[in-house]
Amino acid sequence: MKKAIVVGSGAGGATAAKELQGRYDVTILDAGKEFRPFSGNLSFVEKMKKTGLLMDEREIQLLFPAMKIRKTDDGMVMVNGIGLGGTTTLATGNAVRMDQDLKKIGINLDAEFDELYGEIPIHTDHQNRWRPETVRLFEICAEMNLHPEPLPKMGDHRRCTHCGRCVLGCPNGVKWDSRRFLRSAVEKGASVRTGCNVKNVVIKDSRAAGVSIRKGWRSEFLPADLVILAAGGFGTPVILENSGIRCDDRLFVDPVLCVAVKREKAFQNRELSMPFVVQRTGFILSPYFDYISFFFNKEWRFPARDTLGIMIKLADTNSGSVTSHHIKKTLNERDKEGLRQGVEVCIEIFRRLGKAEGQTILGTVNAGHPGGMLPLTADEVSTFHSRRLPENLYVSDATLFPSSLGNPPILTIMAMAKRIGKICS
């Protein structure tokens, strides 16, 4: 049987591996280790914050190694998961179909989305368990004709304990993540290797011969008949560049800025993350407890239980790049204007909640949906394959998106990965 190597175990990698195993002998490589949810005492971390010991967002990796944090020159915080399951383990489990830009260039993923709806439990029945403050925010958004909608979630939220740790790794297995697809691939015969840093794809005679990895101090070449890169929007471009394949300086990151107020006993820190969404032109709004801002932003001085926040997630301009040591990303004036508009809407929502404009605080701009550096074009509708790549090398993650979604990307990445799996078979 021919051998396939899949680099990355997140949404794109796990889905591609599941589709390919059986037609190929699949090996999944991941730079991280087995994922473990954050098990620490958040009250203790909150006490550490009060002592001033938490000064830099990158310190969170000392407490939670599965969350990798880097900063741009402008101080924007970049977040991604490192470990089996990739960033899906840290995401909020939203199942949003966001293939509008793909449709514009002629890509139809209806069949793949239908398959995913049959394979993953997706629902909105968490709405009847929302806390009162979430219900009130939803009502205010409806009164403002913002057309809020409950976000469809992946998983079985009937077992949700309202621990508030969705973005720290669900400790009860309520939230679906790509490790479920990974297990399916393994059950069919795939193998998984952790702690493998893929340096580059080895190209011989215009074909991908395999990959060069580093594990600890040891380097190794792994041969393959097919290579799928799904190391994420920060990882895949670096591997491609190291392999002599040029990417475009079109990095988007979907920046997040949270606006918050003090609301006694709101207990948003014990609520489902992103329970509903408001779709606006260029950004979305959603209730969200921002751990990064809460622990590291000095302005976020209220107790966790008394902090009520709304996320602004921006569809940013495709302009930026990433290397193994540096992320170059700056928000331009259009991006900043989008965030300003989002802040104005949040201020009005909180005003209707009884909070004056001067009582709102802004969080730290952070981002965790990178992509766009090898975007699909109309010429690649049927192949999902860039002419820059050897014929047996494919990309299967957000690197393929033509532009920023400004929305949760996981479901759409998996639909693309399913299509790629079919093409490669």
Per-residue pLDDT tens over the stretch 387-402: 999 999 999 999 999 9
Q: What is the DSSP string of 151-192?
A: PPEEB-GGG----S-GGG--TTS-B--THHHHHHHHHTT-EE
User: How would residue 356 be classed by pLDDT, with cut points 50, 70 and 90?
Assistant: confident
Q: Which residues contact 26 (CB under 8 A, 6 or more apart)?
A: 3, 4, 5, 6, 17, 20, 185, 189, 190, 191
As separate numbers, helices (DSSP H) first and strands (DSSP E) second, the chain gives 11, 21
Backbone angles phi, psi at 117, to 5 degrees: -65, -25
pLDDT at 63: 85
Where is 395: in which H helix or E strand? strand 393-395
Copy the structure tokens of residue 197: 């840093």
The Cα–Cα gap between 133 and 261 comes to 12
Least confident of 14-23, 152-161, 338-347: 152-161
pLDDT at 348: 97
pLDDT at 59: 87
Whether the predicted pLDDT of 61 surpasses 90:
no
Per-residue pLDDT tens over the stretch 239-293: 999 999 999 999 999 999 999 999 999 999 999 999 999 999 999 999 999 999 9
Alpha-carbon separation of residue 18 from 181, 391, 421 (angstroms): 6, 21, 8
Adjacent-strand bridge partners of 77:
71, 366
